[in-house]
Chains A and B, each alone.
Chain A
Amino acid sequence: MYRYDAFDAAFVAERNRQFRAQVERRIDGALTEDEFKPLRLMNGLYLQLHAYMLRVAIPYGTLRGNQMDKLAEIAERWDKGYGHFTTRQNIQFNWPRLRDVPDILDALAEVEMHALQTSGNTIRNVTADHFAGAAADEVADPRPVAELIRQWSTDHPEFQFLPRKFKIAVTGSPNDRAVTAAHDIGLRIVANEAGEIGYRVLVGGGLGRTPMIGKVIADFVSGDDLLPYLEAIVSVWNLLGRRDNKYKSRIKITVHEHGIDAIRDLVEARFAEVKPEFSGVDQEMLAAITAQFAPPAFAERSTELFDAAYETDPGFRAWADTNLTAHRAPGYAIAQISLKAHGATPGDATADQMRAMADIARRFGHDELRISHEQNVVLPHVHKADLPEIHKILKAQGLATANIGLVSDIIACPGMDYCALATARSIPIAQSIATRFDELKIEHEIGDLKIKISGCINACGHHHVGHIGILGLDRAGVENYQITLGGDHTEDASLGERTGPGFSADEVVPAIETVVQTYLETRRDAEETFLETYRRVGMAPFKAALYPSKDKDTSRNEARANAA
């Protein structure tokens, strides 16, 4: 894993020193809130509904044990004993006090972490496949290039006052687990016919008010052209982007308004100008970074302990069946730790749970942890022989929920319980859905089903790409929830389609149950997933089940119209 060099350490220390002075000047009255706000946002500090919120970057979702321990310490010392992992592989602390934030940032710096560019109109934390470096289906590890992009984009002088925020995601696998099609730039590592590694570049994806699937701007960009190519894209948008209208300022609108072909021409022209400025230093840096991401030394051991537990312990078997993914090394597995215990807040972990996960990573997992955009924690490299012991420890910490990829593994943004932008709550809806399906005991029967909930149109909960998406809105002073079906966050990304009128907070859980029951009655067999069924039969049966009386009225009206 990447370790800070002297430059990184000095840079973060200097930024922290500056921010400490800025906080002092705000408190003593030398800075107004208008002057202070952009400065605090540059350092990840928001003012939310009930308190300040500090968003800490977890670059490309990768953490060491001691970093997770530090997050636990921050949660206990300066917050209320927990943290919230987000869909952008960050962690948010919901209750810091302004005076304490400089100390929190210094604590983070002790373990090579920061909150830089987790907000503001800059290039944000670069996200990546949470199985990076471990997945069996991987072309190449996306983290070295993600780290290179982090270094290039941090404090990039041209890109500190962009038209709006800018998000980049990287996947190294054909199975896209990084939602690259819903980012301003999505990078997919591919091999060309000659076997050379390069990047397919998508641009103009994004969710929010105007959801768009990213378009391919370049099929293959070679490694040494990548940074100049990215610089060209951001540079073209920096000039064209709609600074006059906040709702039209993201690159997805720029691409939509000008067309991908026109944008591609402009980017190519800009690339020709920018490329000579890259002397090759970036490639030397990338080589050095890549060396730091060398895979751990995998051991050859028997998996007998795993096999025995799998045979005899049904709880372990259920967990292994849902929470493990194939690893590239024989005898190893990728284990996901669900932060979605039924009825709990999606993505939240207590300080004790963080310490337990850090300890497991140190003892059994080559000191590596990942945060997924699905708000779970990943042990990327664990030997199967250790899994029964790991499961036992997780169970004692309330972390052994066997529901990865199932109906209760819900993405939910903080919603109106915390967020100042929210128009409705998300967390209690997620809690109620998970609790309800746990009572029904049918989530294993339902199989692969992704529910994603956002508490406003900004779509932090990725509802557009949920198999079932839920969007909370304020309709005349009452919480109202729109349901979308058929979204997909993978390499075949698609946006969900609205079922029809929304549902009140009381109605939404029964409505989701209706959708799921309709799927169970409609699917060809147990092998056909929710998404496959939806793509085969379309919206009609779900709509009929959700709005029965209205449907009867409509058919009656149609019959009357036909008769007349």
Chain B
Amino acid sequence: MPRQFTPKVVTANALLEGDVVYLAADGSWTRELSRAELLTDEADAQIRLIDAQARVDEVVGVYLADMTEGENGPEPTHFREDFRRTGPSNYRHGKQVTA
């Protein structure tokens, strides 16, 4: 039986700053996970991924990251994505500063 598709967001790093970015529903890149588009359909997710990977002058290292649906938008299921969302835990100078 094929594995059931779990919800995902398209994520990458911005080419110029290196910041973690997420693909929003309007096709723009956002730095806030809460504004990312949660993709619940596998075919849709693959198309969004392919389109995003073509935007080579904006982002680097595009991939689909597992998420669940939270009250304030997508929530990470793995601690790595949680750190990518918030920034390093030893200083409050990643995204925490502007969050």
Interface on A for B, CB 8 Å cutoff?
Answer: 26-29, 32-33, 47-52, 80, 95, 97-99, 345, 416-418, 425, 427-428, 431, 474, 477-479
* Contact call A47/B61, Cβ cutoff below 8 A: yes
Q: Does B94 contact A (CB under 8 A)?
A: yes
**DSSP class of B's interface residues: helix, strand, loop or mixed?**
loop
* Contact call B93/A47, Cβ cutoff below 8 A: no
Total of A-B residue pairs, C-beta within 8 Å: 68
* Contact call A27/B15, Cβ cutoff below 8 A: yes
Chain B nearest CB, measured from A304 CB (Å): 42
Stretch from B2-10, B22-30, B39-47, B81-89 contacting the other chain: B81-89
Select one of B18, B56, B61, B94 contacting A97, CB under 8 A.
B18
* Contact call B56/A33, Cβ cutoff below 8 A: yes
Q: How far is the CA of A416 from the CA of B82 in the complex (A)?
A: 11
Q: How far is the CA of A535 from the CA of B95 in the complex (A)?
A: 46
| Known contacts A49-B84, A50-B87; A98/B79 CB under 8 A | no
Please list 24 pairs of residues, one from A and one from B, whose beta carbons are closer than 8 Å in the complex, sorted by A's number.
A27-B15, A29-B56, A33-B56, A33-B61, A47-B60, A50-B18, A50-B84, A50-B94, A51-B18, A51-B19, A52-B18, A95-B18, A97-B16, A99-B16, A345-B91, A416-B83, A417-B88, A417-B89, A425-B83, A428-B90, A431-B90, A474-B80, A477-B79, A478-B79
Select one of B17, B18, B79, B93 contacting A48, CB under 8 A.
B18
Q: How far is the CA of A50 from the CA of B18 in the complex (A)?
A: 6
Residues of A within 8 A of B13 (CB): 47, 51
* Contact call B16/A27, Cβ cutoff below 8 A: yes
Q: How far is the CA of A427 from the CA of B93 in the complex (A)?
A: 15
Interface on B for A, CB 8 Å cutoff?
Answer: 13, 15-20, 56-57, 60-61, 77-80, 83-84, 87-91, 93-95
**What 3 pairs between A and B have smallest CB-CB spacing?**
A417-B88, A51-B18, A52-B18
Which residue of chain A is the closest to B94 with respect to CB atoms? A50
| Known contacts A33-B60, A50-B18, A416-B83; A477/B90 CB under 8 A | no
Q: How far is the CA of A35 from the CA of B90 in the complex (A)?
A: 34
Which residue of chain B is the closest to A37 with respect to CB atoms? B60
Q: How far is the CA of A24 from the CA of B56 in the complex (A)?
A: 14
Residues of B within 8 A of A428 (CB): 89-90
Chain A nearest CB, measured from B66 CB (Å): 10
Select one of A51, A95, A425, A477 contacting B77, CB under 8 A.
A477
Residues of B within 8 A of A98 (CB): 15-18
Q: How far is the CA of A418 from the CA of B88 in the complex (A)?
A: 6
Which residue of chain B is the closest to A478 with respect to CB atoms? B79
Residues of A within 8 A of B89 (CB): 417, 425, 427-428
* Contact call A477/B78, Cβ cutoff below 8 A: yes
Residues of A within 8 A of B16 (CB): 27, 97-99
Residues of B within 8 A of A52 (CB): 18
* Contact call A51/B17, Cβ cutoff below 8 A: yes
Select one of B15, B20, B57 contacting A50, CB under 8 A.
B20
Residues of A within 8 A of B94 (CB): 50
* Contact call A49/B15, Cβ cutoff below 8 A: no
Select one of A29, A47, A97, A478 contacting B57, CB under 8 A.
A29
Chain A nearest CB, measured from B88 CB (Å): 4
Besides A47-B18, A99-B16, A417-B88, 7 new A-B residue pairs in contact (Cβ under 8 A), listed by A number = A28-B57, A29-B56, A47-B60, A49-B84, A51-B13, A417-B83, A425-B89
Which residue of chain B is the closest to A98 with respect to CB atoms? B16
* Contact call B17/A97, Cβ cutoff below 8 A: yes
* Contact call A80/B78, Cβ cutoff below 8 A: no
Residues of B within 8 A of A417 (CB): 83, 88-90
Which residue of chain B is the closest to A428 with respect to CB atoms? B89
Chain B nearest CB, measured from A421 CB (Å): 11
Q: How far is the CA of A49 from the CA of B84 in the complex (A)?
A: 6
Chain B nearest CB, measured from A422 CB (Å): 8
Residues of B within 8 A of A51 (CB): 13, 17-19
Q: How far is the CA of A477 from the CA of B95 in the complex (A)?
A: 23
Q: How far is the CA of A444 from the CA of B46 in the complex (A)?
A: 58
Residues of A within 8 A of B19 (CB): 50-51
Q: How far is the CA of A418 from the CA of B56 in the complex (A)?
A: 23
Chain B nearest CB, measured from A341 CB (Å): 13
Residues of A within 8 A of B56 (CB): 29, 32-33
Chain B nearest CB, measured from A191 CB (Å): 45
Q: How far is the CA of A47 from the CA of B61 in the complex (A)?
A: 9
